[in-house]
Structures are given as structure tokens and as C-alpha cells.
């Protein structure tokens, strides 16, 4: 029990504890009057609520001397502005950063220290890169808050990114996957097959497909505002109806697990697979993994594929780069081209003109 409690409290600001599903602040002796006379003050049930209440009552010390103190202030003032999923990722990054740099003075860190941190976490390179992003943003805010004069490593770090996937899903593979028999009349395999068909036609991201509601079906087509960029661009996409899209939607409606749900893809209780706070979809992920296990056992496929690979197939099969960009609701076609266009580029040989 004690080990579980330590794990739950890991990464929280100093003197915070999670008790019985709520976050509490253990008030230092002598400061009880600022916290309604309590020694243990209830901040809130969720982390956003807790940070908001803490910000109201706590006078953040501007003279933070250590990187750990800077990260605490960053968590207090900046994390509540992020999406719930982003908050979870940044909080995990802050916990890892404080374990390494927490006691170091603000003016201590150098680019080589950042490189050494990434190198020490070879097995979790993506997480290490995200942690560096969080640390860099925290130091950007430190300059804004007047804690330091200049950012200690901005523009001086060049981290090697992950290579884009090159897996292209062939048509014959999909024919076999979509022919996989189902043991149930609704949900499960049939729902995943309907999901695959709709993804191949539209290229929608998982977060948008799992949030898709029949209410978004208009006379013109399926209208979405991509969840990932809704707060940045607000860009709306309408996937215009054709026979294939109408059939894919009709199939998805017919095989969904709960007929009365507001969602096109839902669990047996009619609820979303996406966690309302964490924005994770562990139930869907587990179902997808079981499905791919059957695919590898019962078909002639020699390599599995991911949902991103299906999104990439949609973009790769589009006739033009601009069409692919529009399908994926990207703002910049360079992202579409670099990551999602996976077919070999076909070109006609040049001509010899001097013979």
C-alpha cells in the first residue's frame, strides 16, 4: 500500500498528496491561516482543479533558485493551459526531469547536459525528446518571468528524430483483413473492419474517428474539426458523400455495440473509448492488438500494421499531394509528404535531345 501511494504521489509538486481520489496540500506549520486554518487543504478532485485552486492561494516565489523550483512553477502556471493529455505527458516529463536536474541551480545547465540526459535514456528516446521540449519551454518562461537573462540552450540542441515509418499496406493485405470472420454480429471484429474502411476512405485520425457522431453527418457529407488542431486553426473538413462513404457509414452504424449511443464507434455501454480527462484510449488499443493478433494468426500477412499505416495508405493512394493533405486535414503539405506519402515516386525518364 505504501509503495502504491508513493507511485501515485510521484511527480506532484512538493507537499502535495493524492488521498482517496482527491489532491491535498500539506500546509507548512505557521501558514495555516492562508489555507482556511487547515493543516491538510483539499485542492480538488482532478489535477486541473487542484492546480487552479493552488494558483489562487499560493504566492509563487519569483526568485526560484533551482531547476526543480522552476519546473514546479511551470507546472502550476502553464500546465493548466494544456489539453488533458498534454498535461499528463508534461507531468511525466517534469517528474523525470526533476529526478535528474531538480537540485541544480538555474544557471548551471548547458547544452551538453541536455545531450547527456537524452543519451542516458536511449531506451525511451521519444519520451526523452518530449522531456527536453518541456524543459526548453520552462526555461523560455523563466526568461519571461525574469528569473534568468537568456535561455541556456535554445537553438543549440539538435536531437536526432525518429525516422518516419515506411510501411505501405497493400490492397491484398486489406482484402484478407476485411474478410476475417467475426464470432459476433455486432462490435468487435465487425466494428474494427467498419472502422478500417472509414479510415481508408477519409484518412481521419483515430482521435477524430473515435469521437465521430452521426450528428456530424450533413447533407453534404461528414463534417469534422480535427480535434488535435481545433484550438489552433479551427479548420473544418467536409468529406463529401459518395457511394463508398455512404456504405461504410451504414455498415458502421449497423454493427456498433450500442445502437442508442451518440457515437459511431463506442463500447457496449455506448460510451467513448477515449478517456475524458487523460484522452487515452486503452480499451480501444487492447481491442486493436487482439484483432491484429488474429490477423497475424489467421491470414497470410507477414507483417502487422498500425492505424497510422492505414492513414498513410489513404494519403499514399490519393492522386495528388494536395488531395492527400486535404484528406488528412493537414495545414502543411510537407508533413503529409514526408510522413504519409509512402509509395515510390514515379517519374518518366528524360529524353536525349542531341541525337
What is d(CA 265, CA 192) in angstroms, rounded to the nearest whole number? 9
Domains and CATH numbers, the chain: 2-144 (no CATH), 171-340 (1.10.443.10)
What does the angle CA 70 – CA 117 – CA 78 come to, to the nearest 5 degrees?
30
Residues 24 and 44 sit within 8 Å (Cβ to Cβ): no
Q: What is the pLDDT of residue 355?
A: 65
Backbone phi and psi for residue 225, each to the nearest 5 degrees, phi listed first: -115, 115
Residue with the bigger pLDDT between 83 and 173: it is 173
The pLDDT confidence band at residue 353, using thresholds 50, 70 and 90, is confident
What is d(CA 320, CA 295) in angstroms, rounded to the nearest whole number? 31
Query: Residue 19 pairs with which residues in a beta bridge?
Result: 22
Helical ranges in 78-124 per DSSP H: 84-101, 111-120
- Segment 238-258, tens digit of pLDDT: 999 999 999 999 999 999 989
Top-confidence range, 18-27, 68-77, 82-91, 251-260: 251-260
Mean pLDDT value of segment 272-294: 89
**Average pLDDT for the chain:** 87
What is d(CA 152, CA 132) in angstroms, rounded to the nearest whole number? 13
Cα dist from 43 to 8, 33, 38, 50, 278, whole Å: 16, 16, 12, 4, 19
What is d(CA 166, CA 342) in angstroms, rounded to the nearest whole number? 6
- Segment 163-196, tens digit of pLDDT: 788 999 999 999 999 999 998 888 889 999 999 9
Q: Minimal CA–CA distance to 330: which of 317, 310, 311?
A: 311
Q: What is the pLDDT of residue 62?
A: 47
What is d(CA 21, CA 13) in angstroms, rounded to the nearest whole number? 17
CA 121 from centre of chain: 21
Residues 251 and 194 sit within 8 Å (Cβ to Cβ): yes
CA dihedral for 79, 80, 86, 91, sign (positive or negative): positive
Q: What is the pLDDT of residue 242?
A: 96
What is d(CA 255, CA 189) in angstroms, rounded to the nearest whole number? 9
Res 6 pLDDT > 80: no
The pLDDT confidence band at residue 230, using thresholds 50, 70 and 90, is confident
Q: What is the pLDDT of residue 256?
A: 92
Q: Minimal CA–CA distance to 74: which of 9, 16, 136, 150?
A: 136
DSSP structure class, residue 331: S
Q: Which three cell numbers stand for residue 343?
A: 509509395
What is d(CA 93, CA 78) in angstroms, rounded to the nearest whole number? 14
The pLDDT confidence band at residue 268, using thresholds 50, 70 and 90, is very high
- Segment 301-345, tens digit of pLDDT: 999 999 999 999 999 999 999 999 999 989 889 989 988 999 988
Mean pLDDT value of segment 148-155: 88
Q: What is the pLDDT of residue 203?
A: 95
The pLDDT confidence band at residue 161, using thresholds 50, 70 and 90, is low
What is d(CA 113, CA 149) in angstroms, rounded to the nearest whole number? 19
- Segment 96-120, tens digit of pLDDT: 999 899 888 888 898 989 999 988 8
What is d(CA 195, CA 253) in angstroms, rounded to the nearest whole number? 11
Percent of the chain with pLDDT over 90: 47
Q: What is the pLDDT of residue 301?
A: 95
Res 31 pLDDT > 70: no
Rg (CA), the chain: 25
Residue for cell digits 531506451?
123
The pLDDT confidence band at residue 160, using thresholds 50, 70 and 90, is confident
Amino acid at each position: 500500500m505504501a509503495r502504491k501511494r508513493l507511485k501515485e504521489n510521484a511527480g506532484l509538486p512538493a507537499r502535495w498528496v493524492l488521498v482517496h481520489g482527491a489532491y491535498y496540500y500539506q500546509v507548512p506549520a505557521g501558514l495555516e491561516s492562508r489555507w482556511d486554518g487547515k493543516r491538510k487543504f483539499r485542492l480538488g478532485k482532478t489535477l486541473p482543479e487542484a492546480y487552479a485552486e493552488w494558483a489562487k492561494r499560493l504566492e509563487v516565489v519569483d526568485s526560484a533558485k533551482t531547476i526543480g523550483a522552476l519546473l514546479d512553477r511551470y507546472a502550476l502556471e502553464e500546465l493548466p493551459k494544456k489539453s488533458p493529455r498534454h498535461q499528463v505527458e508534461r507531468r511525466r516529463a517534469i517528474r523525470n526531469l526533476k529526478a535528474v536536474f531538480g537540485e541544480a541551480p538555474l544557471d548551471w545547465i548547458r547544452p551538453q547536459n541536455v545531450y547527456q540526459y537524452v543519451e542516458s535514456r536511449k531506451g525511451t528516446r521519444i519520451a526523452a525528446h518530449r522531456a527536453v521540449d518541456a524543459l526548453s519551454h520552462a526555461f523560455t518562461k523563466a526568461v519571461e518571468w525574469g528569473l534568468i537573462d537568456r535561455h541556456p540552450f535554445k537553438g543549440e540542441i539538435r536531437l536526432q528524430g525518429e525516422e518516419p515509418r515506411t510501411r505501405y499496406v497493400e490492397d491484398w493485405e486489406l482484402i484478407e483483413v476485411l474478410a476475417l470472420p467475426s464470432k459476433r454480429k455486432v462490435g468487435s471484429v465487425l466494428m474494427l473492419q467498419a472502422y478500417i474502411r472509414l479510415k481508408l476512405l477519409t484518412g481521419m485520425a483515430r482521435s477524430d474517428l473515435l469521437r465521430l457522431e452521426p450528428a456530424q453527418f450533413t447533407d453534404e457529407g461528414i463534417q469534422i474539426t480535427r480535434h488535435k488542431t481545433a484550438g489552433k486553426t479551427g479548420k473544418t473538413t467536409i468529406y463529401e458523400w459518395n457511394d463508398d462513404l455512404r456504405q461504410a457509414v451504414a455498415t458502421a452504424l449497423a454493427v456498433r455495440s450500442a445502437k442508442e449511443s451518440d457515437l459511431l464507434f463506442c463500447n457496449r455501454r455506448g460510451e467513448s473509448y477515449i478517456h475524458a480527462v487523460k484522452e487515452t484510449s486503452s480499451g480501444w488499443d487492447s481491442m486493436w492488438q487482439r484483432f491484429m493478433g488474429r490477423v497475424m494468426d489467421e491470414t497470410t500477412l507477414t507483417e502487422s500494421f498500425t492505424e497510422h499505416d492505414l492513414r498513410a495508405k489513404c494519403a499514399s493512394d490519393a492522386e495528388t499531394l494536395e488531395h492527400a493533405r486535404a484528406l488528412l486535414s493537414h495545414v502543411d503539405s510537407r508533413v503529409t509528404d514526408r510522413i504519409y506519402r509512402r509509395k515510390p515516386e514515379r517519374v518518366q525518364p528524360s529524353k536525349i535531345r542531341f541525337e
